[in-house]
């Protein structure tokens, strides 16, 4: 999912550390902290490769070496989340936030977890804190995630507001433009939905979901010719897609 993919990118800095040689047993607390952070980064790198056994080993070693850094706690949250151990993951995300309360990356990452795990209200609140955080160099990401969080909770009006704020920082975010097209369609503003979908099409390759949305928008607007163009494109380029199945159902339905 996109909320998780953006988190993974924020900690993918560990990739090159796979070549780091084994460290000697550290004597000082500073050495322990460095070793812990290196193992935390390695845990994320192994997780990104799908090696969850080694990822778990590395994060457990990191926590043994020094559990008092946000980097280690955040990495532990990611690893245990991937392992499906939600209670452990949440505990580590919360500890990361305690250790680095003003870090927008920690705020954004924990909020994304909350949104996906059924607490969108708390997640949204934390994302708005991240968006307004003066240390945050990418408020558009936080606003976009707040929009996704609100939308997942069925609060379309709030989602629309957050997505518009995200577009205020970067007007050409494909996923946000597509989300806006979907929301406007669901709210019944089909002209706005068409406009956002056209902007999306200028910034992203065509896809079955975008064609299907276009078909429904044009059908709602009574533009049969344009709807047919979308339908033909689905038939030609995505004949095995779920959108093709939905199109068949739509065309069989009584007019």
Under the banding of pLDDT at 50, 70 and 90, the label for residue 23 is very low
Please, what's the b/e burial string for 4-43 (b: 16 or more CB within 10 A of its CB; e: otherwise)? Answer: eebbeebbeebeeeeeeeeeeeeeeeeebbbbbbbbbbbb
How many other C-beta atoms are found inside a 10 Å radius of the C-beta of residue 242?
A: 11
Residues 90 and 132 in one domain: no
Under the banding of pLDDT at 50, 70 and 90, the label for residue 27 is low
pTM to 2 decimals? 0.80
Under the banding of pLDDT at 50, 70 and 90, the label for residue 29 is confident
Structural domain of residue 158, as residue ranges?
101-171
Least confident piece of the model among 25-34, 86-95, 220-229: 25-34
- Give the domain-ending residue among 66, 81, 100: 100
Q: Which long-range contacts (CB under 8 A, 24 or more apart) does 159-165 make?
A: 159/183, 160/184, 160/187, 165/131
Pairwise CA distance, residues 178 & 210, whole Å = 8
- Give the domain-ending residue among 128, 149, 171: 171
| pLDDT at residue 110, rounded to an integer | 96
Work out how many domains the chain is built from and give that number.
3
Question: What is the Cα 66 distance to its own chain's centre?
Answer: 29
Strands (E), 32-142: none
How many other C-beta atoms are found inside a 10 Å radius of the C-beta of residue 201?
A: 18
Check whether 24 has a pLDDT greater than 80: no
Which tokens sit at 252?
């069989």
pLDDT in tens, 56-69: 999 999 999 999 99
Pairwise CA distance, residues 147 & 149, whole Å = 5
pLDDT in tens, 206-243: 999 999 999 999 999 999 999 999 999 999 999 999 99
pLDDT in tens, 107-121: 999 999 999 998 999
Identify which of 67, 74, 131 has the alpha carbon closest to the alpha carbon of residue 104. 131
CATH number (domain holding residue 251): 1.25.40.10
Residues 160 and 179 in one domain: no
Mean pLDDT over the full length of the chain:
90
Residue 26 is given by DSSP the state: P
CA distances from 197 to 5, 147, 172, 247 (A): 23, 17, 12, 18
Identify which of 105, 134, 80, 100 has the alpha carbon closest to the alpha carbon of residue 10. 105
Q: Which long-range contacts (CB under 8 A, 24 or more apart) does 234-237 make?
A: 234/208, 237/206, 237/208, 237/211
Check whether 2 has a pLDDT greater than 80: no
Residues 45 and 69 in one domain: yes
- Give the domain-ending residue among 116, 148, 171: 171
Residues 178 and 165 in one domain: no
Residues 83 and 106 in one domain: no
pLDDT in tens, 183-204: 999 999 999 999 999 999 999 9
């Amino acid at each position: 999912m996109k909320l998780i993919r953006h988190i993974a990118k924020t900690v993918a800095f560990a990739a090159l550390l796979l070549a780091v040689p084994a460290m000697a047993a550290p004597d000082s607390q500073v050495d322990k902290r460095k070793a812990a952070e290196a193992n935390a980064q390695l845990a994320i790198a192994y997780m990104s490769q799908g090696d969850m056994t080694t990822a778990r080993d590395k994060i457990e070693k990191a926590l043994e070496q020094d559990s008092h850094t946000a980097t280690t706690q955040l990495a532990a949250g990611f690893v245990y989340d991937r392992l499906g151990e939600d209670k452990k993951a949440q505990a580590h995300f919360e500890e990361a936030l305690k250790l680095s309360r003003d870090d927008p990356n920690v705020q954004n990452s924990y909020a994304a977890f909350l949104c996906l795990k059924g607490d969108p209200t708390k997640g949204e609140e934390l994302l708005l804190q991240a968006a307004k955080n003066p240390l945050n160099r990418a408020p558009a990401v936080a606003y976009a995630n707040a929009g996704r969080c609100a939308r997942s909770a069925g609060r379309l009006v709030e989602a629309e507001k957050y997505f518009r704020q995200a577009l205020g920082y970067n007007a050409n975010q494909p996923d946000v433009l597509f989300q806006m097209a979907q929301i406007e369609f669901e709210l019944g503003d089909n002209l706005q939905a068409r406009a956002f979908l056209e902007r999306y099409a200028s910034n992203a390759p065509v896809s079955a979901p975008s064609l299907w949305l276009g078909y429904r928008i044009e059908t709602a607007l009574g533009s049969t010719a344009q709807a047919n163009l979308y339908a033909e494109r689905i038939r030609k380029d995505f004949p095995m897609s779920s959108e093709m199945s939905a199109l068949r159902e739509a065309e069989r339905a009584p007019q």
